[in-house]
Chains A and B, each alone.
Chain A
Amino acid sequence: MKIIVLVKHVPDAQFDRHLTGEGNTTDRSESILSELDEYALEAALQLIEARGGEAAGNKVIALSMGPAGAVNAVKKSLQIGASEGVHLSDDALAGSDAAATSLALAAAIRHLGADTPADLILTGMASTDGETSLVPAQLAERLDLPQVTFASSLELDGATLTARRDGDAHADTVEATLPALVSVTDQINDPRYPNFKGIMAAKKKTITTLSLADIGVDPAHVGRSGSWTAVESAEARPARTAGTIITDEGDAGIKLVEFLAAQKLL
């Protein structure tokens, strides 16, 4: 089977993140493979390993859209175990919103499936930068695929995919027929780390770079000009400052209630 996993190069959420320059885009200087995409990659690897791995003709393609640095997310995916990598990169993509991103990714997925269509498109539940969760659903709509989003478990029996999806009020069992698009939560598995063997093996794997011309997308339909939403202004929220800190001397619970009463929160 052929699985395409979408991986995104995002600012490391361990540090303060910033918006910068024209169009208030995210500063990507301190970026890593989005943590949430590691669960999708792990799910893909488990699915092909259960089917005889690459030796049996299965493969996992890691696809990332983004500027030059985004190739690092592809490299990391190869080290973790993806079979090959694809980096969709074009200056005209800068500033794409979810709709424009999904348009470019849909075209790239069609391009990669020109000979053998992918059986499964796997993504994380959200990117850790934009956090909109819009792209998986928009991709499913553009590719006319069933979407199984926020999967916290995933099983595949022939061409039938079964997943669990946990909502606030209920947990659903969901069924779809391949090909399908699946986004997974961080509850689905424990992602593996790249080991020495994987890091060495990754050096021999191919990374294909695609431009918009390669996938037949008009630059006017992506980027800031092709987006359907525009960020008009951005203001850093003033950092919170520490308030009163006390050490419990046996009456901190009462002091807490006094504080709440003073704030009219009782």
Chain B
Amino acid sequence: MAKVLVFIDNPGQALKKASLELLTIARSLGEPAVALNGDLHDDVAATLGAYGAQTLYRPSAADLDDYLVGPKASYLAAAVQTADATVVLTENSAEAKEIAARLGIKLGAGVITDVVAVDPDGTAHKSVLAGSYITTAKATTPVAVLTVKANSITPEPAVTGTAPATVTVEVPETATAASARITARNEKAASGRPDLAEARIVVAGGRGVDGNFGPVEDLADALGAAIGASRAATDAGWIGHDAQIGQTGKTVSPQLYISAGISGAIQQKAGMQTATVIVAVNKDSESPIFEIADFGIVGDLFQVLPQATEEIKKRRG
């Protein structure tokens, strides 16, 4: 049976939903194992067992977080060899994709990014050119490395859980030699809102919010949504760059995307047009966003959004 290695970088106190999704996909492909970096809490180990992980690999070095990407790829390459894995699954974050990239060269393995589904034979499905095409691709090498987007599958625990064994993987001494060092780290304040890439609902604001994200934030909180923004809004400094959705920002694929005060130029659409339902609010009836909206409102977002927020609160009593 194929051995499938899931890489989880710093799981923290509890596993993210995206990690549980990877484990669920791993079980459909073969026998899952996990390569971790960072601390391993008892709860996390128990959850990994419940999701069917047979073995947990941990690095012999504790300083991988002090460097950018390279040493983590070296560790993961050693873990793949120790586990004798033929498929490696990672999340689809910028750093995870780069670890996958270097791992691919180290192992002579094909890397497929932005995967949204994997067939049992390893065929990967992804959307390309800003969501305008769906493609299937396959690694032609003995080992395949796939980076999988969050919200690709509903996570499900294994029918029978395991008590996984822990194995230490020797990180090669040369791993840190030609690597960039991280000399300072500034943690960003947690917003308490869902992670943009993983959120089921996104409310995004653009030029039309004119510096005031208040109504967007209020509606997002009423819906339990993440907040996004167009490049115009992040360039203006109204909100952090990490909220940017679009070709040079994040690509999101939520069940509901509410666009407020965004015209919907093609670069913006590139980041959100695979959302299941799109709602648009814009004063300008000619905005291209209305061409793809399931429900469009020509109106002032400063009237429409607060009214919608109040109505949601009222209905929820």
Contacts and interface: CB of A to CB of B under 8 A. Distances in A.
Contacts of A266: 223, 312, 315
A91 interface: no
Contacts, number: 270
A111 B201 CA distance: 50
A135 B100 CA distance: 11
> For this complex, into which size category does the number of interface residues on chain A fall?
35 or more
Given A134-B111, A172-B185, A248-B299, A144 B178 contact: yes
B70 A140 contact: yes
Interface stretch (A55-63, A201-209, A249-257): A249-257
Interface in A216-266: 227-237, 240-248, 250-257, 259-261, 263, 265-266
Contact of B68 (A165, A241, A244): A165
Given A137-B102, A237-B134, A171 B188 contact: yes
A53 B281 CA distance: 49
Nearest to A126: B248
B98 A149 contact: yes
A213 interface: no
B143 to A, nearest CB: 9
A10 to B, nearest CB: 11
A175 interface: yes
A244 B293 CA distance: 8
A133 B133 contact: no
A244 B95 CA distance: 40
B160 interface: no
B256 A133 contact: no
Interface residues of B, number: 93
Given A19-B129, A129-B129, A147-B180, A231 B136 contact: yes
Contacts of B110: 97, 99, 227-229
Contacts of A165: 68
B101 interface: yes
Given A170-B186, A173-B184, A231-B135, A244 B295 contact: yes
Interface stretch (B25-33, B34-42, B151-159, B284-292): B284-292
A131 B128 CA distance: 8
B181 A175 contact: yes
Interface stretch (B43-51, B53-61, B161-169, B303-311): B303-311
A147 B184 contact: no
Q: Is the interface of B mostly helix, strand, loop or mixed?
A: mixed
Contact of B102 (A138, A150, A230, A232): A138
A186 interface: yes
Interface string B114-137: 100000000100011111111111
B178 A232 contact: no
A17 interface: yes
A29 interface: no
A16 B288 CA distance: 14
Interface in B195-249: 195-197, 201, 223, 241-242, 247-248
Interface string A130-173: 11111111101110111111101000000000110111111111
Contacts of B241: 152, 166, 187
Contacts of B309: 253
Contacts of A131: 114, 128
Given A141-B102, A242-B290, A133 B186 contact: no
A129 B270 CA distance: 11
Contact of A240 (B106, B186, B292): B292
Contact of A253 (B128, B187, B223, B307): B307
A253 B114 CA distance: 35
Interface in A63-82: none
Nearest to B127: A237
A150 B94 contact: yes
A248 B300 contact: yes
A248 B101 contact: no
Nearest to A254: B311
A146 B114 contact: no
A134 B308 CA distance: 42
B308 A253 contact: yes
A257 B308 contact: yes
Interface of A: 13-19, 24, 26, 35-36, 97-99, 102, 125, 128-138, 140-142, 144-150, 152, 162-163, 165-176, 180, 185-187, 227-237, 240-248, 250-257, 259-261, 263, 265-266
26 contacts: A13-B130, A13-B267, A26-B129, A97-B110, A133-B97, A133-B113, A134-B111, A137-B69, A146-B179, A166-B241, A167-B242, A168-B93, A171-B185, A171-B188, A172-B182, A172-B185, A173-B185, A174-B182, A185-B248, A186-B248, A227-B110, A229-B138, A232-B136, A240-B273, A245-B297, A248-B304
Given A237-B132, A240-B278, 8 more contacts: A17-B129, A133-B98, A141-B101, A180-B180, A236-B132, A242-B291, A245-B290, A254-B311
